[in-house]
A and B are shown apart, each in its own frame.
Chain A
């Protein structure tokens, strides 16, 4: 019971939207497509929904080719990042809309609409028009409309991006509860935030420039990104990447930083590498390398410290609020045990042992 996409390719006016994307999506599973803006996330959802036909490639569901099935006959729902509802219909009629198109019995429609409205906490607003609701409530209506059908394929295109921080957190939690109850649908959720994927603990598909770079559990992609590009996409803030080299005894970063050869690099042959380290694994430490503060952003209860040592630029993600002056000299510790090594082509060569 699965949806299989094979070599999906789509170009619009010469611009590549999808580049030979293949994936297998299983029923009852939750997939999160992670990628920066314009990476092809929305194009992938449109292709899976049947809204845009790919130039090349096929999509089959349980073995049957979907190409000949028009959108309105498919079992697909979609929630958009804009809050899309029918402005002329009340919340009740919005949620009932897909059921009425299927000519369900009146009583059946009523009971399903009321049940789903209860799930997404919309019961008090059923007689209102969507325009009279807040953004968060409008998105709940859209979600209810997509859930009420019980589609085989439920697509959510960055549904939380237009909400404020607090509401996003709250809805994300509700989404997780609702999704875990959807045992028979395939859920595909897109986001630009890797933290969201990690929070959902879902299967992750990393996309970049229309290509699917890596598929795997959120934890495994975070622990072993296949390429330097994946490492940057699947880390917020993006992973620090510093060119350097490795010999039998030591590791060099930039011009003058020398670290002992990390044990987890194992039998890695000497040569030039690009070394990566998560911003969360860097911290000021008196025994570290000298660096100059470029910027210290404080967001909530976290501090993002941008520093540079000669040509080497690093971002440190510190939990807690710290005040740093521009141009201040700090010492930054780089823990060799947390370093990733990528070949100059960007392929993963070694990753820190998890938990280490």
Chain B
């Protein structure tokens, strides 16, 4: 009975792993093919079934001849995503602590309304925001710049940080704040010396969400930049000329998913150390 259970358990895990890994393997094999290797039906084994070629990968680093020189956009994407995420995390965490701990009243507006206001920023379809953002950046002379994009991304990412952190701070017992104040901490010292050091689990989740949403944005990068600044998702689309180069697209997909895979491993090790849940009981 238990042997059967083990067999079934491992079979299920294998099946699921195959389901998750297959697209990556598919992209990996495709990235080493050329037009010949793709049109002839599904093939998987290099040298036996198709002749591997580095052409797809070369296109990513070449200029001209359909190449896109992925290094520049890659670096820009990293700079914009990481800066916007960090600033969003700092501002969002401060806002969330205030919303969680202090009572604000402005007319009929209460804390819950302010929190909802932050979150509601993400309810609107991006296309509604595109024109106002375009006009604002144009007015500021920040169209087609990394700095402009960072500002726009902060507007998009900070609601996520506020949302996650308000939820997190609400689970931190208020008695912890009270103890800190009774022990001589001003409200900011309370936040800085006691609450923040115990908020790693919330900060990690909020930070990762910001990185993922920022990294994956295509729409705003596409509408607010043209030639000077080009983020990775937009650069990859530029590969798509009259003939779709599936081999280069596959290579670009692998390259752009790499940071997120790294982030997932960080998150996973964090989870397995038990740090994410129950830091404060």
Interface residues of A (CB under 8 A from B): 49, 51, 70-74, 76-78, 80, 82, 84-88, 97-98, 101-102, 131, 145, 149
User: Is there a chain A Cβ closer than 8 Å to B198's Cβ?
Assistant: yes
The reply to whether B194 and A86 contact each other, CB–CB distance below 8 Å, is: yes
Interface stretch, picked from B171-179, B206-214, B255-263, is B171-179
User: Is there a chain A Cβ closer than 8 Å to B125's Cβ?
Assistant: no
> In the bound complex, what is the Cα–Cα distance between A71 and B176 (angstroms)?
14
The reply to whether B173 and A72 contact each other, CB–CB distance below 8 Å, is: no
**B 177-191 contacts with A by CB, 8 A:** 178-186, 189
The reply to whether A77 and B182 contact each other, CB–CB distance below 8 Å, is: yes
The reply to whether B198 and A101 contact each other, CB–CB distance below 8 Å, is: no
19 A-B residue pairings within 8 Å (CB atoms): A49-B182, A51-B178, A72-B182, A72-B183, A72-B185, A72-B186, A73-B184, A78-B178, A78-B182, A84-B179, A86-B176, A86-B198, A87-B198, A87-B279, A98-B183, A98-B184, A101-B183, A145-B183, A149-B183
The reply to whether B175 and A101 contact each other, CB–CB distance below 8 Å, is: no
User: Is there a chain A Cβ closer than 8 Å to B280's Cβ?
Assistant: yes
Nearest opposing residue in chain B for A102, CB measure: B184
> In the bound complex, what is the Cα–Cα distance between A49 and B198 (angstroms)?
24
> In the bound complex, what is the Cα–Cα distance between A70 and B185 (angstroms)?
10
Nearest opposing residue in chain B for A74, CB measure: B182
Q: How far is the CB of A145 from chain B (nearest CB, A)?
A: 7
Contacts of B189 in A (CB 8 A): 72, 101
Q: How far is the CB of A82 from chain B (nearest CB, A)?
A: 6
The reply to whether B179 and A72 contact each other, CB–CB distance below 8 Å, is: no
Q: A84-B173, A86-B198, A87-B280 are in contact. Are A78 and B179 (CB under 8 A)?
A: yes
**B 215-241 contacts with A by CB, 8 A:** none
The reply to whether A76 and B184 contact each other, CB–CB distance below 8 Å, is: no
> In the bound complex, what is the Cα–Cα distance between A127 and B198 (angstroms)?
18
Nearest opposing residue in chain A for B187, CB measure: A72
The reply to whether A131 and B281 contact each other, CB–CB distance below 8 Å, is: yes
Interface residues of B (CB under 8 A from A): 173, 175-176, 178-186, 189, 194, 197-198, 279-281
Q: How far is the CB of A37 from chain B (nearest CB, A)?
A: 17
Nearest opposing residue in chain B for A76, CB measure: B182
Contacts of A80 in B (CB 8 A): 175, 179
> In the bound complex, what is the Cα–Cα distance between A62 and B179 (angstroms)?
24
Nearest opposing residue in chain B for A80, CB measure: B175
Contact of A82 (CB < 8 Å), options: B175, B180, B182, B197: B175
> In the bound complex, what is the Cα–Cα distance between A71 and B179 (angstroms)?
10
Most A CB within 10 A of own CB, among B181, B186, B189, B281: B181
Q: How far is the CB of A31 from chain B (nearest CB, A)?
A: 18
The reply to whether B197 and A88 contact each other, CB–CB distance below 8 Å, is: yes
Contacts of A97 in B (CB 8 A): 183
Smallest CB-CB A-B distances: 10 pairs:
A101-B184, A98-B183, A88-B197, A71-B181, A84-B175, A72-B181, A80-B175, A84-B179, A72-B184, A88-B198
Nearest opposing residue in chain B for A71, CB measure: B181
> In the bound complex, what is the Cα–Cα distance between A97 and B190 (angstroms)?
12
